[in-house]
């Protein structure tokens, strides 16, 4: 899993962006709300001006705003909201939506057949499967129940008996949202529990000892049977605290897990698979590079094609004031082998309290390799790890060599005691005494040893692992993220259903959700337009190119006036889409939190907090819009 720069932001950093406030979420939220309010007032005025005439229309809008603040918001009663929520809840339950949970459970029963048992990482497969299926199922369900309920009430006129009671539009909108969130929660809980047991039980298996060899020195080495399409090897050692009849050992890691093997008397006890379901809590460092002559460099070497596309990040409201930004990419910088080039990770908070393990500090690496020659194809690219005192660069450990394991996370340990240089003298350095500064900073330097080969690193490639969170808790956080998405979809569904018919409201909500997925493309197109880069142009230009089968890098081969017209219309379209994409919730980002759990990483609290706050903001906006539409609607018309 590769993290984007904005994934590292703390909550306050995301909210305020101290260095570039224009890109801050707070500003974006406030401006979006203000913008929505302004557009809302304008549209309301136009509609009522048509209906009642220009001056009466103004008073009608003013009355609407006054009513909201004078009567409807203060008059909103939790008791009535709760009563309406209960109604929405009962409606959904009595319409038997819980059948979906049953379907999900049945689906799980059969899913085991179809999940590839030969997968190299079954845990990832299982977790991705349950999270993705729950996510889409719940969002689909949220879409249906939220978009159809209110229009059905209006059509069946059951709403008459509600609005003729002292019920305010605020209460109807909030009541619906709350009720459906209740239903969704009720469904998510059993689905989450079932998922947990499905993953845990699905991965559980055992082996038998098929081969055992006495190594002579009291140790044994052996092999486990070929089950579940894999086998393990292991060694056994005396445990020490017994009379020697109990031996213990662990197997090697295969498919992300290993077993503990115990020999009690003549009997072998093979433990459950461990290590497959993890929730690593990483501690990331600040990454910088040095070029081949050892000078500091920010980005490392760009090898072009190897730069992958990642998630997108919006530049927030900065986009609206003309700051154009390419969709964010994951930035792998590369280090040239056999030179002074290096990747330097500056870690913070490296203290004995956080890393109490006597074996050293656990460090994990997910690096990339880029080869310009075939080289040694058997043993893989080799690199070295050096620890250095950030305050006194003369104190440096001797390099620890490693082999790059691409597409995999390799675990290393930074030892507590290591040979190293302190100025001119060579001595044994203590990690916390000599290499780590008193305030807990440590530099870790990665180099590539093989000449003409390159080592790729990004901020999330190397991290210290101070702790391990529990898998169950991590899964719970994934489900919380799904829950947030559900709340968002419900809020949009209810909002649209206050003024659209059921099917149309559903489609509108769906489009809002989908547009988030295309935002990255839209950002790119705008970026190219702003830069004047020939990348095929906007929608109309690219359509023309498609039909004429023109390459996207050539000039548009039409006459000058037509070209001007096409480009003009295109830029209006692209800028409009850009504004819409910036305004809509970033659902894909929220969907991708499942990736954390699947890859075995603890989901950052700050990430969830960001999603939660953004969701709350959109729910509030949806509530206001829904309120105004319902309030100004002739229910009986």
Partner 1 sequence: MAIDSSVTSVLPDTAKSTALPASGVVIETRNLSKVYRDFWGRRKVAALKSLDIEVRQGEIFGLLGPNGSGKSTTIKLILGLLFPTSGRVLVFDQDATETRKNERIGYLPEESYLYKFLTTDETLDFYGRLFDLSTEDRKRRIDELVEMVGLQGARHRQLREYSKGMTRRVGLAQALINNPDLILLDEPTTGLDPIGSRDMKDLILSLRDQGKTVLLCSHQLSDVQDVCDRVAILHQGELKELGRVSELLKVQDVTEVHARGLSEAAKQEIAEVIRRHGGQVESIDNPTTTMEELFLNIVRESERRPGARRVASEGGNATGAAAANAEVGR
- Reference 610, options 153, 26, 3, 4; nearest CA is 26
- Reference 603, options 613, 616, 594; nearest CA is 594
Q: Calculate the alpha carbon distances from 418 to 99, 259, 446 in Å.
A: 61, 31, 17
The helix (H) or strand (E) run that includes residue 580 is helix 560-583
Least distance between partner 1 and beta carbon 189 (Å): 23
Q: In this structure, are residues 171 and 81 in contact, taking their beta carbons and an 8 Å threshold?
A: yes
Residues that bind partner 1 (CB under 8 A): 50-51, 71-72, 75, 79-80, 82-83, 86-87, 90-91, 94-95, 156-168, 634-637
Between 60 and 607, CB nearer to partner 1: 60
Between 53 and 605, CB nearer to partner 1: 53
Helix/strand/coil for 297: strand
Q: In this structure, are residues 277 and 130 in contact, taking their beta carbons and an 8 Å threshold?
A: no
Residue 529 CB neighbour total at 10 angstroms = 20
Least distance between partner 1 and beta carbon 495 (Å): 21
How far is it, in rounded angstroms, from Cα 284 to Cα 286? Answer: 7
Least distance between partner 1 and beta carbon 83 (Å): 4
Between 116 and 634, CB nearer to partner 1: 634
Between 94 and 267, CB nearer to partner 1: 94
How far is it, in rounded angstroms, from Cα 52 to Cα 47? Answer: 9
Least distance between partner 1 and beta carbon 180 (Å): 15
Helix/strand/coil for 418: strand
Between 72 and 326, CB nearer to partner 1: 72
Q: In this structure, are residues 399 and 386 in contact, taking their beta carbons and an 8 Å threshold?
A: yes
Between 115 and 162, CB nearer to partner 1: 162
Q: Give the residue carrying structure tokens 């959904």.
A: 92
Least distance between partner 1 and beta carbon 634 (Å): 5
Between 157 and 371, CB nearer to partner 1: 157
Q: In this structure, are residues 427 and 420 in contact, taking their beta carbons and an 8 Å threshold?
A: yes
Least distance between partner 1 and beta carbon 144 (Å): 17
Between 158 and 470, CB nearer to partner 1: 158
How far is it, in rounded angstroms, from Cα 194 to Cα 188? Answer: 10
Q: What is the per-residue DSSP string for 74-105?
A: HH--HHHHHHHHHHHHHHHHHTTTTHHHHHHH
How far is it, in rounded angstroms, from Cα 384 to Cα 453? Answer: 14
Least distance between partner 1 and beta carbon 592 (Å): 38
Structure tokens at 633: 């609607």
How far is it, in rounded angstroms, from Cα 603 to Cα 475? Answer: 9
Least distance between partner 1 and beta carbon 621 (Å): 23
Least distance between partner 1 and beta carbon 587 (Å): 32
Between 166 and 240, CB nearer to partner 1: 166
Least distance between partner 1 and beta carbon 161 (Å): 6
Between 85 and 587, CB nearer to partner 1: 85
Buried b (16+ CB within 10 A) or exposed e, 496-515: bbbbbebeebbebbbebbeb
The helix (H) or strand (E) run that includes residue 344 is strand 342-347
Taken in order 591, 596, 597, 598, the sign of the CA dihedral is positive
Between 33 and 98, CB nearer to partner 1: 98
How far is it, in rounded angstroms, from Cα 419 to Cα 546? Answer: 64
Q: In this structure, are residues 462 and 285 in contact, taking their beta carbons and an 8 Å threshold?
A: yes
Between 91 and 595, CB nearer to partner 1: 91
Between 8 and 623, CB nearer to partner 1: 623
Least distance between partner 1 and beta carbon 55 (Å): 15
Least distance between partner 1 and beta carbon 87 (Å): 6
**DSSP, res 480:** H
- Reference 163, options 597, 637, 630, 487; nearest CA is 630
Least distance between partner 1 and beta carbon 77 (Å): 8
Least distance between partner 1 and beta carbon 615 (Å): 28
Q: Calculate the alpha carbon distances from 56 to 47, 259, 629, 634 in Å.
A: 11, 78, 19, 18
Between 123 and 167, CB nearer to partner 1: 167
CA atoms within 13 A on the CB side of 44: 22
How far is it, in rounded angstroms, from Cα 603 to Cα 532? Answer: 39
Q: In this structure, are residues 33 and 621 in contact, taking their beta carbons and an 8 Å threshold?
A: yes
């Amino acid at each position: 899993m590769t993290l984007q720069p904005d994934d590292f932001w703390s909550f306050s950093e995301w909210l305020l962006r101290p260095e570039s406030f224009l890109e801050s979420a707070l500003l974006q939220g406030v401006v979006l709300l203000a913008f929505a309010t302004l557009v809302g007032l304008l549209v309301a005025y136009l509609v009522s001006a048509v209906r009642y005439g220009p001056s009466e229309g103004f008073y009608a809008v003013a009355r609407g705003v006054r009513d909201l603040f004078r009567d409807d918001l203060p008059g909103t009663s939790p008791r009535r909201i709760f009563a309406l929520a209960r109604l929405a809840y009962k409606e959904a339950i009595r319409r038997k939506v819980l059948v979906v949970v049953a379907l999900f459970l049945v689906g799980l029963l059969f899913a085991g057949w179809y999940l590839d048992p030969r997968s190299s990482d079954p845990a990832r497969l299982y977790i991705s499967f349950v999270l993705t299926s729950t996510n889409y199922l719940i969002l689909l369900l949220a879409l249906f129940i939220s978009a159809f309920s209110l229009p059905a009430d209006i059509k069946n006129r059951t709403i008459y008996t509600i609005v003729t009671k002292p019920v305010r539009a605020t209460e109807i909108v909030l009541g619906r949202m709350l009720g459906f969130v209740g239903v969704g929660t009720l469904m998510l809980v059993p689905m989450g529990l079932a998922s947990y047991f499905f993953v845990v039980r699905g991965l559980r298996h055992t082996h038998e000892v098929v081969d055992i060899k006495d190594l002579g020195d009291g140790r044994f080495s052996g092999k486990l049977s070929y089950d579940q399409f894999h086998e393990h090897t292991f060694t056994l050692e005396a445990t020490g605290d017994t009379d020697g009849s109990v031996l213990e050992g662990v197997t090697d890691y295969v498919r992300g897990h290993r077993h503990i093997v115990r020999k009690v008397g003549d009997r072998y006890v093979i433990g459950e698979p461990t290590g497959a379901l993890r929730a690593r809590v990483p501690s990331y460092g600040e990454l910088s590079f040095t070029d081949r002559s050892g000078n500091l460099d920010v980005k490392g070497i760009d090898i072009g094609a190897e730069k992958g596309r990642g998630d997108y990040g919006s530049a927030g409201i900065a986009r609206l004031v003309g700051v154009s930004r390419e969709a964010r990419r994951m930035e792998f910088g590369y280090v040239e082998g056999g030179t002074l080039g290096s990747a330097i990770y500056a870690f913070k908070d490296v203290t004995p309290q956080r890393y109490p393990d006597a074996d050293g500090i656990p460090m994990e690496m997910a690096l990339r390799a880029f080869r310009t020659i075939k080289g040694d194809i058997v043993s893989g690219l080799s690199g070295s790890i050096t620890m250095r005192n950030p305050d006194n660069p003369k104190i440096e450990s001797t390099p620890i060599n490693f082999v790059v394991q691409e597409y995999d996370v390799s675990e290393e340990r930074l030892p507590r005691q290591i040979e190293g240089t302190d100025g001119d003298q060579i001595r044994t350095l203590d990690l916390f005494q000599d290499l780590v500064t008193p305030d807990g900073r440590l530099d870790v330097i990665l180099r590539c040893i093989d000449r003409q080969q390159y080592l790729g690193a990004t901020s999330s490639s190397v991290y210290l692992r101070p702790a391990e969170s529990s898998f169950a808790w991590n899964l719970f956080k994934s489900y919380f993220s799904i829950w947030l998405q559900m709340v968002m979809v419900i809020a949009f569904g209810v909002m649209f259903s206050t003024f659209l018919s059921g099917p149309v409201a559903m489609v509108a909500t769906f489009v809002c959700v989908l547009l988030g997925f295309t935002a990255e493309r839209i950002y790119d197109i705008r970026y190219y337009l702003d830069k004047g880069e020939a990348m095929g142009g906007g929608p109309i230009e690219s359509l023309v190119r498609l039909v004429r089968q023109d390459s996207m890098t050539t000039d548009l081969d039409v006459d000058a006036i037509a070209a001007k017209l096409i480009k003009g219309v295109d830029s209006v379209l692209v800028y409009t889409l850009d504004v819409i994409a910036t305004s809509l919730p970033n659902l894909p980002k929220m969907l991708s939190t499942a990736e954390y759990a699947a890859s075995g990483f603890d989901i950052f609290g700050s990430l969830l907090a960001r999603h939660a706050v953004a969701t709350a903001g959109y729910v509030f906006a949806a509530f206001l819009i829904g309120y105004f539409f319902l309030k100004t609607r002739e229910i009986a018309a």
